[in-house]
Amino acid sequence: MTLLLEMKNITKKYGDFTANHNINFDVRKGEIHALVGENGAGKTTLMRMLYGMEEPTSGSIMINGKEVHFHDPSEAIRQGIGMVHQHFMLFPSFTLAENIVIGGEPKRSGLFDRKAAADKVNELGQMYGMPVDPWRKAGDCPLGVQQRTEILKVLYQGADVIILDEPTGVLTPSEVKELLQSIKRLAAQGKSFILITHKLHEVMEAADRITVLRDGVITGHMESNTTDEEQISRLMVGRDLIPMSRVANEPGASVMHVQNVTLAGAKGAKPLLDNVTLTVRQGEIVGIAGISGNGQSELLQVISGLVQPDSGIVELNGKDVTGDSVRAIREQGMAHIPEDRYMWGASREATVLDNGLMGHQHQYKKGGLIQSHKLRKVVSGWVERFAIKTGSLDTQAQFLSGGNLQKLIAAREFAQNKPFLIAAEPTRGVDVGAMETIHGELLAKCKAGDGILLVSSELTEILKLSDRVLVMYEGAIAGELSAAEATEEQISLLMAGGKRQL
Amino acid sequence: MTRLKRNLFALLQPIIAVIIGLLAGAIAIVLLGDSVIDTYAEMWNGAFGSFYFLTNTLTRATPIILTGLGVALAFRAGFFNMGSTGQMVLGGLAAAITALYLPGPGWMVLVVSLVVGMAIGGLWSLFAGYMDAKFGINLLISTLLLNYIASLFAGYMVAFPLKDQSGSAAMAQTPMIDKSIWLPKLFSGMSLHAGFILAIVAAIALYIFIQKSVSGYEIRMLGNNPFFAAYGGVKRGRMMVVAMLTSGALAGLAGAGEVLGTQHRYLDGALASADYGWSGIMATLLASSNPLGTAVAGILLAALQTGAMGVERNTNVPLEVASVIQAVLTLFVSARFGYAFLKRRKEKK
Amino acid sequence: MDQLFDVSLFNSMLRIVTPILLAALGGAICARVGLFNVGLEGLVLVGAFSAILGNHLLGNVWLAILFAIVCVMLFSLIFAYISINLRANVIVVGISMNFLAAGLTTFCLRAIFDVKGAYYDKNMMGLPKWDIPVIKDIPVLGGIVSGHSPLVYLAFFAAILMQIYLFKTVSGFRLRAAGENPVAAQSLGIPVRRIQYGAVLMSGVLCGLAGAQLSLGQVTMFTEGMTAGRGFIALVATMLGQSNPIGVVASSLLFGFMDAFSIRLQGFALPAQFTQMLPYIVTLVAMFFFKDRSYLKDAQRANGSSR
């Protein structure tokens, strides 16, 4: 097979920080080459250089034996490299055809020939076995169709090498299967793929070759049929993953309970929450697994009071709190580590101190004024205990790294000592040390008799911490597994919409 | 940056902006063929040159500071309340009506008139807030439109039912308010009245409220990130009521203060044409919605305006040079918002 | 004038709607590239003043219009630079532009013409009235449509042109893309910044024409603050019309009609102040019909996800 693409001795530095060190990476014609690694390993950085969004500090890129330099994405596109981003770059109000042909619009007497565009799209769809409706608005389409549109877009632009960045994060299991099949078909037709992912079973299913990155260097490079998931994950993490077994407490009374909660979706669409019933008891951690987008966010919003359910009951500490305000629910006994720290969990312009006050601000009220002495002492305590790297308590939150901000938010919610805690993606973007700290706190809180609802897209986290695992699929609870029964296979099956195998 | 440094910077910004504005004014003066030094000397004299002029400046600053404070609070909460002119007009009118027709001892009527002015201004502002919360009607535009409606309404009231029939009937104004209900002057023979004290007290009170109180905290966070605020239990509806009501009340107080302290009657267009409301908004923008900075900026803007009158009296340069300076000032401030952002981005990289 | 609705009412409507329509089209094209232009009021004011100034300096109404266009385009460059390059808060910049326009026009009125409040030159040539052959003889319709200043016809023509541009051409398509998702557009090689500048300049041209119609269209006169909130009404027309040129025509006609109607009502023993209130009240009521959750969108954009 011919070498289509070669990245030789690529190094990328941001100031003192080395994101990629001496990377050698190549792609043959018609192959699917997986690039795997944990968050922050350097995969996206490497691809951004290939796609023209960054320039390497040193090293060279060769296409068909000729050296190339990309200053912006349009140059990369011209050389046949197409990128399908993790967050789609579509125009929601434009049709699928318009989205696909943009930049190379067919014209007729000076005007945009939309009919010709639609024909071309149908043609492409047929040729590559990925048909789409050219006249549908992109915003109305499910994510799987949107992704297909993104792929058709790069094919239309003449891509021979297609980079897919974490393509399956937002897809349903059936959409994932379709995607992998399409990729294999296209590879057979001579297109090459670089598949960036951390989902190992997908890698084993579709990839021809695998390159493993860890902390900016290549730790492994092999043909897929010579290896297995265990070996790859060892190369990714650098150590063997220890299967956790935790000592379960005797769970007590119900701390939080939702009964038959339903939340309607947009007109004609599936409900966002479909008759959800679940209980969290004192002294237990209930984990909710499931690919994000299956109702987890909506469930948390209903429980925390940000959204009213259309029907059903929410109980906290034995009291019916359905329809109560966020403040009332928090005061009744709930703390909440939100899934998106910048949107929900903090204010960028506010100081560390100000950020630390939110959610329990009325506990620091004396005569209407804030007891700042008391607050300072408390927040300083968090900074020390959780090793939060910040200049001072008066530094603005935007100057903290994501991981440190997450630690601050976690510390804040733990410190409120509420009997019920929602922990949504509590260690997203956080380094290993901080992850251990937060996990330790979660277990300690549980041992002390409080109840925790853990929502995470990291299965290892769910398996490590949960007493019971619930799986959400399309707005409903697809199944429940005890800690003993919960294995990756069982959970994956439920996540895929399958039925529990007894 | 430490808190002290940040506060100092907030107070320094209006001064820097004024310097930039003066530069622009200098250009205008040069284009007119006049001497910059002479003109600015007259401007300084006109604003601060004698005790008389100084008190004039502070008198003029009073409604600017008050409306500015109101807008500062609203902006802090994330509400673009542009209606200070209308709120001030209706507040002034209400105060005049109360002062003219409420029986009772002078000091009591005075206090009630001020309160009524605040209440009406607050309600007019809250009305816009309500329309935004309930019907999704864009606050910025609705408050702007309500300005015109308020001014026209007040104009009608004073041209027909409430018109002063005595004396030259040419002016659309209410009769003069009884002397016992006037806001006391601070110095005999000078125009400065107790309203100025109210303005300073309000500035300090608002600063404490925003920085030190829990409600002030909730308002600040709401303005920074409404999602974060909602997550933390802040009730947007309640905060909006507080912010809009207070904001309007301060503007209403500005109007009432002018009516009871300076003009002693409601005169059609007097409040609107002096552009106190717009100057107040400018003062807030200059000071990044910091109450203490707003007070300083309000005095600076008033000084510009009274100084310009001095310029008009003693040179060939028209007093409108102040408008140019003020406008460039504000533009600089809006650009500074972007500059600060650029600086931050460079730091991060 | 003893009748409430007659041909001359609708004739006035078309004349009065023109500055609103032109400004609203300017607002629409700015909105389409993602810039909420609150400064329309100031841009039109500058246009009105420079039209009078141009006429005074050049002695020719057509050159005056050109002069006005150039002046407003230059003025709008300030808005463009501060909003686009310096990434300042678009609303604060817009408000500042309005202040600047008011201050500059007032100052120049004093400095150049040495008058306060208003400038009127009875010898100045205003915009001509064009009688359109054939149409002017049609009963009713002729009275309404014929006999307007050329800018009136230009306004409607501009709306049609803009509609074709935005929805039929490739360039207009890419302009909409730049506004809808600038990051995606930029990654495709679409020059978002350049397009945004172009849109702002275009709005400058349109507001210049709007101002010219205001100060030269009926009585050749400039009054301080003569835009009287029309720039904000135009903004509402833009929003009501969903930044779609034909929609903007419809919403502008509504407001223009209200404006004309309120003037007509003055002849009917209703106090002037109440009839003058009418356009503003109608605008408020019209806003009732579209919900604005933009503060949430802005917050989302500003505080977006941690990914």
Residues of B in contact with C100 (CB under 8 A): 327-328, 330-331
The answer to whether B209 and B289 have CB atoms below 8 angstroms apart is: no
Is the CB of residue B72 less than 8 Å away from at least one CB of chain C?
Answer: no
Asked if residue C163 has pLDDT above 90, the reply is yes
CATH, residue B180: 1.10.3470
With CA atoms as reference, report the closest residue to C39 among C244, C284, C204.
C204
What residue numbers bound the domain in which B165 lies?
Answer: 3-348
Is the CB of residue A208 less than 8 Å away from at least one CB of chain B?
Answer: no
Contact C170 A105 (CB under 8 A): yes
Of C212 and C1, the structure prediction assigns the larger pLDDT to: C212
Asked if residue C305 has pLDDT above 50, the reply is no
How is A35-71 classified by DSSP, letter by letter?
Answer: EE--TTSSHHHHHHHHTTSS--SEEEEEETTEEE--S
Query: φ, ψ for residue B237 (rounded to 5)?
Result: -60, -50
Parallel, antiparallel or unpaired: strands A285-289 and A468-473: parallel
Residues of B in contact with C101 (CB under 8 A): 327
Mean pLDDT, all residues of chain A: 87
Please state, as a whole number, how many other Cβ atoms lie within 10 Å of the Cβ of residue C77.
Answer: 14
Opening angle at CA A310, ends A305 and A314, nearest 5? 45
The one-character DSSP state at A308 is -
Q: From the DSSP assignment, how many helices (H) and strands (E) are in chain A?
A: 16, 24
State how far the Cα of A444 lies from the Cα of A439, in Å rounded to an integer. 9
With CA atoms as reference, report the closest residue to B194 among B119, B99, B107.
B107
Q: What is the pLDDT of residues C4-59, one digit of tens each?
A: 778 888 888 898 999 999 999 999 999 999 999 999 999 999 999 999 999 999 98
Q: For position A455, what pLDDT does the model report?
A: 94
State how far the Cα of B85 lies from the Cα of B151, in Å rounded to an integer. 8
Q: With cut-offs at 50, 70 and 90, classify the pLDDT of residue C139.
A: confident
State how far the Cα of B277 lies from the Cα of A181, in Å rounded to an integer. 66
Q: At what angle do helices B291-314 and B276-286 cross, to 10 degrees?
A: 130
DSSP, collapsed to helix, strand or coil, labels residue C222 as strand
The answer to whether C27 and C40 have CB atoms below 8 angstroms apart is: yes
Query: φ, ψ for residue C12 (rounded to 5)?
Result: -60, -40
Cα dihedral A103/A107/A113/A119 (nearest 10): -80
Q: For position C245, what pLDDT does the model report?
A: 95
Q: Specify which residues A471 forms β-bridges with.
A: A289, A479
Beta strand ranges found along A297-341 (DSSP E):
311-316, 319-320, 334-337
State how far the Cα of B87 lies from the Cα of B67, in Å rounded to an integer. 9
Q: For position A321, what pLDDT does the model report?
A: 94
H or E element that contains B244: helix B236-258
The answer to whether A197 and A168 have CB atoms below 8 angstroms apart is: yes
State how far the Cα of B264 lies from the Cα of B183, in Å rounded to an integer. 9
pLDDT over 90, % of chain A: 50
The answer to whether A468 and A287 have CB atoms below 8 angstroms apart is: yes
The two three-digit tokens of residue A395, written as one number: 């530094």
State how far the Cα of B104 lies from the Cα of B125, in Å rounded to an integer. 29
The nearest alpha carbon in chain B to A300 belongs to B231
State how far the Cα of B112 lies from the Cα of B123, in Å rounded to an integer. 16
State how far the Cα of A233 lies from the Cα of A209, in Å rounded to an integer. 15
DSSP, collapsed to helix, strand or coil, labels residue C288 as coil
DSSP, collapsed to helix, strand or coil, labels residue A277 as strand
pLDDT over 90, % of chain B: 41
Interval B191-220 mean pLDDT? 93
Contact A98 C173 (CB under 8 A): yes
Contact A87 C181 (CB under 8 A): no
Residues of B in contact with C303 (CB under 8 A): 225, 227-228
The answer to whether B283 and B294 have CB atoms below 8 angstroms apart is: yes
Asked if residue B216 has pLDDT above 90, the reply is yes
Residues of C in contact with B152 (CB under 8 A): 273-274, 276-277
Provide the shortest C-alpha distance from residue A410 to chain C (in Å): 15
Amino acid identity of residue B285, one-letter, is L
Amino acid identity of residue A481, one-letter, is L
Asked if residue A241 has pLDDT above 80, the reply is no
N residues, chain B? 349
Q: For position C307, what pLDDT does the model report?
A: 28
Q: Of A295-304, B33-42, B50-59, C75-84, where does mean pLDDT reach its minimum?
A: B33-42
Contact C299 B227 (CB under 8 A): yes
Is the CB of residue B85 less than 8 Å away from at least one CB of chain C?
Answer: no
Interval A270-277 mean pLDDT? 87
With CA atoms as reference, report the closest residue to A409 among A371, A389, A431, A382.
A382
Contact B212 A372 (CB under 8 A): yes
Contact C300 A343 (CB under 8 A): yes
State how far the Cα of A26 lies from the Cα of A52, in Å rounded to an integer. 17
State how far the Cα of B246 lies from the Cα of B252, in Å rounded to an integer. 10
Q: What is the CATH number of domain A254-346+417-495?
A: 3.40.50.300
Phi-psi region of A153 (alpha: psi -120 to 50; beta: other; left: phi over 0): alpha
Please state, as a whole number, how many other Cβ atoms lie within 10 Å of the Cβ of residue C296.
Answer: 11
Please state, as a whole number, how many other Cβ atoms lie within 10 Å of the Cβ of residue C126.
Answer: 16
CB pairs under 8 A between A and B: 74
Q: What is the pLDDT of residues B268-326, one digit of tens each?
A: 877 777 788 888 998 898 888 889 989 998 998 999 899 988 888 888 888 888 888 88
Q: For position C110, what pLDDT does the model report?
A: 84
How is A57-123 classified by DSSP, letter by letter?
Answer: SEEEEEETTEEE--SSHHHHHHTTEEEE-SS----TTSBHHHHHHTTS--EETTEE-HHHHHHHHHH
With CA atoms as reference, report the closest residue to C19 among C152, C120, C136.
C152
What stretches of A189-283 show up as alpha helix (H) in DSSP? 200-206, 229-237
Please state, as a whole number, how many other Cβ atoms lie within 10 Å of the Cβ of residue A9.
Answer: 12
The one-character DSSP state at A341 is I
Q: What is the pLDDT of residues B95-111, one digit of tens each?
A: 999 988 888 888 889 99
Q: What is the pLDDT of residues B245-262, one digit of tens each?
A: 999 999 999 999 999 888
Q: For position B348, what pLDDT does the model report?
A: 40
The two three-digit tokens of residue B104, written as one number: 């009772």
DSSP, collapsed to helix, strand or coil, labels residue A278 as strand
With CA atoms as reference, report the closest residue to A99 among C172, B54, C184, B331.
C184
Is the CB of residue B153 less than 8 Å away from at least one CB of chain C?
Answer: yes
The answer to whether A211 and A218 have CB atoms below 8 angstroms apart is: yes
Is the CB of residue B1 less than 8 Å away from at least one CB of chain A?
Answer: yes
State how far the Cα of C177 lies from the Cα of A99, in Å rounded to an integer. 9
Count up the domains in chain B and report the number. 1
Asked if residue B116 has pLDDT above 70, the reply is yes
Q: Can you give the residue ranges of every domain in chain C?
A: 18-232
Q: What is the value of ipTM here, to two decimals? A: 0.84
Mean pLDDT, all residues of chain B: 86
pTM for the model stands at: 0.82
Cβ contacts of residue B235 below 8 Å, gap of 6+? A325, A327
Q: At what angle do helices B214-224 and B236-258 cross, to 10 degrees?
A: 110
Q: For position B46, what pLDDT does the model report?
A: 85
Q: From the DSSP assignment, how many helices (H) and strands (E) are in chain B?
A: 14, 0
Of B175 and A497, the structure prediction assigns the larger pLDDT to: B175
With CA atoms as reference, report the closest residue to A333 among A269, A421, A396.
A421
Residues of C in contact with A343 (CB under 8 A): 300, 303-306
| CA C200 to centroid of chain Cα atoms | 13
Q: What is the pLDDT of residues B326-337, one digit of tens each?
A: 888 878 877 765
Interval A101-108 mean pLDDT? 90
Q: What is the CATH number of domain A3-237?
A: 3.40.50.300
Query: φ, ψ for residue A110 (rounded to 5)?
Result: 80, -15
For the stretch A26-61, what's the b/e string if a residue is b when 16 or more beta carbons lie within 10 angstroms of its beta carbon?
Answer: bbebbbbbbbbbbebbbbbbbbbbbbbbbebeebeb
Q: With cut-offs at 50, 70 and 90, classify the pLDDT of residue A243.
A: low
Q: Of A203-212, B215-224, B274-283, C56-65, where does mean pLDDT reach its minimum?
A: B274-283
From residue A242, alpha-carbon distances to A215, A457, B102 in Å are: 21, 19, 83
Q: Of A235-244, A362-371, B130-139, where does mean pLDDT reach its minimum?
A: A235-244
The one-character DSSP state at A92 is T
Contact A394 B227 (CB under 8 A): no
State how far the Cα of B323 lies from the Cα of B321, in Å rounded to an integer. 5
Please state, as a whole number, how many other Cβ atoms lie within 10 Å of the Cβ of residue A488.
Answer: 15
Amino acid identity of residue A70, one-letter, is F
Is the CB of residue A73 less than 8 Å away from at least one CB of chain C?
Answer: yes
Asked if residue A464 has pLDDT above 80, the reply is yes
Interval C264-275 mean pLDDT? 78
Provide the shortest C-alpha distance from residue A501 to chain C (in Å): 35
H or E element that contains B199: helix B195-212
Amino acid identity of residue C302, one-letter, is A
With CA atoms as reference, report the closest residue to B281 among B34, B4, B105, B72.
B72
Opening angle at CA A482, ends A478 and A487, nearest 5? 80
Opening angle at CA B333, ends C42 and C95, nearest 5? 25
